Structures are given as structure tokens and as C-alpha cells.
């Protein structure tokens, strides 16, 4: 495992929040506050990856992840404080991811956060991991409410209207696989290394996306939901029909899959943007924000940039390190909650499933990680 600390920013005068993230296979801690002008600042953002531990299994093994979190959490917290140049005595509140995610990892991070809060007499904020992603554009770009959010990751594919802190309206979600999961399963099918998303993108760079005619699920339908299971199945069928595959075949399949994914996302997001513009016709700075690990994919970013331009909205895409799982987004979500007077009891449970929009009709893949087809 390798820890990757971010370059700390200048230290804000007060109101520091220590954030903890352990929902999947990264052990992370960060310190976030505000500068004298009130703008959010990341003082430290340390992430310890478990990719090597899970690579042989082609995916995350929950038991291995939980054990690795327990072994690493103390050291990661120390590094985060050292990188920020602060002590626990200067921390104003503790925030920890409490769901959704793998329950073993959530317990490790939330318990560590609660222990620090109890020992120091500090307020504790139980953060929804998805809210961390949803508020990241405010951390990185100072984005004002309301805005449209596309959340695309290994466990989530959703379109959300973000109209205020705690005010999230789910407009669309996957009805089967999340997009990141489809990338991972495609990579595994084609015997590419974990994590699958970057592996597929690397192979696609040398492939012909037009060689294999793959479907664009739900294209043209008025609903704003996503579907990727059929696309994944079509890749498997094409692979079986052309077996044994050579490197060129794999590159072409990756390119075709990536192109179909990008065009599917573009189609769904275009409908959502039309609805967003209709609801807020006079918004001075309409924006489409994108978050989650899949947001790092270059072809998907280009497709989103094109469709945002067509609808006259600004595309806000945080840096890759803040799109994937990290503790800075958790600390910032905790900061907004704490500043609003919203803290949690130390008895707050961890929640493996925790949708942002609790009023939305549950679908497979909605508000949880690792949705199954």
C-alpha cells in the first residue's frame, strides 16, 4: 500500500474539521477548514490505497478491506494531522463516513471518529458518502446551489438535483449495474487488471470503437434512468463470438464499450439538463457537476463537456483525486453540516445502504455500493 498526501494549503484561522473515509478500499483522512475570506481550504488529504491487496481477486474483498482499514487508520490520521500542521487540540469537529458502503470498513472509520470525538469532547458528524461527492463541487469550485449532479462510480450511477444542504432530488439512477461496475466487469471478462476503469480506457485508446456494434441502453426514452447490464452482456457475447481474442480484439471491444457508455451517459444527461434548464430558466450560472471515479474517464468527460455546451451550462469536474473516494470531501460535508448546527450522537449507526433522496422509489443500484445485476 502507498500513502499519497496532497500538498497542504495555507492554514485557515479556525473551524477545522477532521474527516475520515473508509467506505470501500481506501483508508483516508483529511483536514478541511476555511480561509479568512470564508472559502474552503484543504489542509491535508491523505489516501492509503488497497489496490495491491485486492488485485488478485479482481475486485474488493470486504473482509480484507476491513482488516486493512483497522491496521492503517491510526497511522493515516497521524499523517493527516502532520500534513495539515495542526494538532487534535486545534480540531473543531470530527466527520466520518457512516454509509453507504462495506459495513466492516464503515465500522472502523466511524468508530475511530467517535472515539476521538468522545475523548476530546468534540461534535461528531455522521456523513453520507454520497453527500461528500455531491458537495465536492462546492469545495473545489465554490459552486452555488442549485446545480445538477452526475454521480458515476463503481457503486453508484445517479443524476441528482442538489438544491441545498440536505436537499437532494434523485432524477435518475441505474436499474441494474452502476457504470463503474460495468467497466470493472468488462475488464475482468477481457482479463485486464484491476481496477477495471483505467485498464479499459488504456486499451480503448488503441482500439476501433466502430468495429463492434454495441447497444446504447435506454437511448431516447423519456425516463432519466440508466442501464448497463445489457451493454455488458453484449460485450461478453462479442468476446465469445470472436474467441480466442488477440490484443487488437480486446482493444476494439474496450473502445466500443467505452464509446457506447459515453453516448448512453450523454443521452441521459441531455434529457436531465433540458429538465434542469426548464425548472431554472433564469439561473445566472447554471452548472452540471460530475463526481465519482468514472468521471476521470476522458471520453466520458468529453461527452459531458459537449452536452453541457449544447444546453448552455458550465461543466464542473473536480480534480481526479477528489472525484474518487477521499476524506477531504467527507471533512467538507462535515464542515457544512457542523456550520449549520447539524451534528450526530455518538450512537449514530453505520448504514450500508443510505440513499441521498430518501423519498425516491428504491431501485437496484440506488443508494448503495456494489449493486448486483
Q: What is the CATH number of the domain that holds 269?
A: 3.30.420.40
Confidence of residue 220 (pLDDT cuts 50, 70, 90): confident
- Domain count along the chain: 2
Same domain, 300 and 189: yes
The verdict on residue 48 lying in a domain is yes
The verdict on residue 352 lying in a domain is no
Residue 64 has pLDDT above 60, yes or no: yes
Enclosing domain of residue 203: 146-319
Same domain, 96 and 115: yes
Dist CA 29 CA 75 (whole Å): 10
Same domain, 126 and 169: no
Residue 70 has pLDDT above 60, yes or no: yes
Q: By C-alpha distance, which of 340, 332, 357, 341 is closest to 141?
A: 332
- 84-97 in b/e form (b: 16+ CB < 10 A) is bebeeeebbbbbbb
Residue 257 has pLDDT above 90, yes or no: yes
Dist CA 157 CA 291 (whole Å): 10
Same domain, 305 and 330: no
Mean pLDDT along residues 134-143:
96
3-state SS track over 205-252: CCCCCCCCCCCCCCCCCCCCCECCHHHHHHHHHHHHHCCCCCHHHHHH
The verdict on residue 353 lying in a domain is no
Give, in order, the Cα–Cα distances in Å from 47 to each of 36, 73, 269.
27, 10, 31
Dist CA 28 CA 297 (whole Å): 22
The verdict on residue 267 lying in a domain is yes
Dist CA 69 CA 108 (whole Å): 7
The verdict on residue 44 lying in a domain is yes
Same domain, 46 and 16: yes
The verdict on residue 45 lying in a domain is yes
Predicted pLDDT at 368: 41
Same domain, 159 and 130: no
Same domain, 330 and 191: no
Instruction: Of 14-23, 340-349, 362-371, give the range with the top mean pLDDT.
Output: 340-349
pTM of the complete model beyond 0.75: yes
Same domain, 199 and 234: yes
Largest CA distance in the chain: 63
Predicted pLDDT at 337: 97
Same domain, 193 and 292: yes
Identify whether the C-beta of residue 266 lies closer than 8 Å to the C-beta of residue 213: no
Instruction: Of 14-28, 149-163, 247-261, give the range with the top mean pLDDT.
Output: 247-261
Q: What is the total residue count of the chain?
A: 373
Q: By C-alpha distance, which of 40, 126, 148, 120 is closest to 354?
A: 126
User: pLDDT for 71-113, tens place per residue?
Assistant: 999 999 999 999 999 999 999 999 999 999 999 999 999 999 9
Q: By C-alpha distance, which of 197, 131, 54 is closest to 331?
A: 131
User: pLDDT for 265-285, tens place per residue?
Assistant: 999 999 999 999 999 999 999
Q: 10 Å Cβ neighbour count for 191?
A: 11
Position with higher pLDDT, 25 vs 130: 130
Give, in order, the Cα–Cα distances in Å from 118 to each of 39, 111, 362.
29, 10, 35
The verdict on residue 364 lying in a domain is no
Which H or E element spans position 151?
strand 147-152
Predicted pLDDT at 358: 86
The verdict on residue 362 lying in a domain is no
Same domain, 163 and 301: yes
Same domain, 16 and 60: yes
Same domain, 69 and 41: yes
Those residues with Cβ within 8 angstroms of residue 261's Cβ, 6 or more apart along the chain or in another chain: 179, 182, 183, 228, 231, 300
Those residues with Cβ within 8 angstroms of residue 59's Cβ, 6 or more apart along the chain or in another chain: 184, 188, 194
What rounded mean pLDDT belongs to the chain? 90
Amino acid at each position: 500500500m502507498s500513502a499519497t498526501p496532497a500538498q497542504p494549503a495555507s492554514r485557515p484561522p479556525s473551524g477545522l474539521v477532521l474527516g475520515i473515509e473508509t467506505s470501500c478500499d481506501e483508508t483516508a483522512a483529511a483536514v478541511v477548514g476555511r480561509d479568512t475570506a470564508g472559502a474552503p481550504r484543504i489542509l491535508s488529504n491523505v489516501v492509503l490505497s488497497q489496490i495491491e491487496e485486492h488485485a488478485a481477486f479482481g475486485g474488493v474483498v470486504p473482509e480484507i478491506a476491513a482488516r486493512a482499514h483497522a491496521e492503517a487508520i491510526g497511522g493515516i490520521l497521524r499523517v493527516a494531522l502532520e500534513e495539515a500542521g495542526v494538532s487534535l487540540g486545534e480540531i473543531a469537529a470530527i466527520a466520518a463516513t457512516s454509509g453507504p458502503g462495506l459495513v466492516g470498513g464503515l465500522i472502523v472509520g466511524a468508530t475511530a471518529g467517535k472515539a476521538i470525538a468522545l475523548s476530546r469532547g468534540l461534535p461528531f458528524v455522521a456523513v453520507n458518502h454520497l453527500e461528500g461527492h455531491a458537495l465536492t463541487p462546492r469545495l473545489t469550485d465554490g459552486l452555488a446551489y442549485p446545480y445538477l449532479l452526475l454521480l458515476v462510480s463503481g457503486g453508484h450511477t445517479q443524476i441528482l438535483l442538489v438544491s441545498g444542504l440536505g436537499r437532494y432530488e434523485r432524477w435518475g439512477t441505474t436499474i441494474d449495474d452502476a457504470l463503474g461496475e460495468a467497466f470493472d466487469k468488462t475488464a475482468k471478462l477481457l482479463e485486464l487488471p484491476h481496477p477495471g476503469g483505467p485498464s479499459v480506457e488504456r486499451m480503448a485508446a488503441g482500439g476501433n470503437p466502430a468495429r463492434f456494434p454495441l447497444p446504447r441502453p435506454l437511448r431516447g426514452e423519456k425516463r432519466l434512468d440508466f442501464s448497463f447490464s445489457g451493454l455488458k452482456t453484449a460485450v461478453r457475447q462479442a468476446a465469445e463470438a470472436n474467441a480466442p481474442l488477440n490484443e487488437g480484439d480486446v482493444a476494439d471491444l474496450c473502445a466500443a464499450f467505452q464509446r457506447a457508455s459515453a453516448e448512453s451517459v450523454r443521452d441521459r444527461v441531455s434529457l436531465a439538463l433540458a429538465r434542469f434548464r426548464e425548472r431554472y430558466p433564469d439561473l445566472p450560472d447554471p452548472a452540471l457537476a460530475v463526481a465519482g471515479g468514472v468521471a476521470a474517464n476522458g471520453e466520458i468527460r468529453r461527452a459531458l463537456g459537449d452536452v453541457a455546451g449544447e444546453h448552455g451550462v458550465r461543466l464542473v469536474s473536480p480534480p481526479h483525486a477528489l472525484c474518487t473516494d477521499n476524506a477531504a470531501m467527507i471533512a467538507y460535508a462535515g464542515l457544512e453540516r457542523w456550520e449549520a448546527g447539524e451534528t450526530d450522537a455518538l450512537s449514530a449507526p453505520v448504514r450500508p445502504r443510505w440513499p441521498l433522496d430518501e423519498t425516491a422509489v428504491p431501485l437496484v443500484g440506488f443508494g448503495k455500493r456494489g449493486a448486483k445485476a
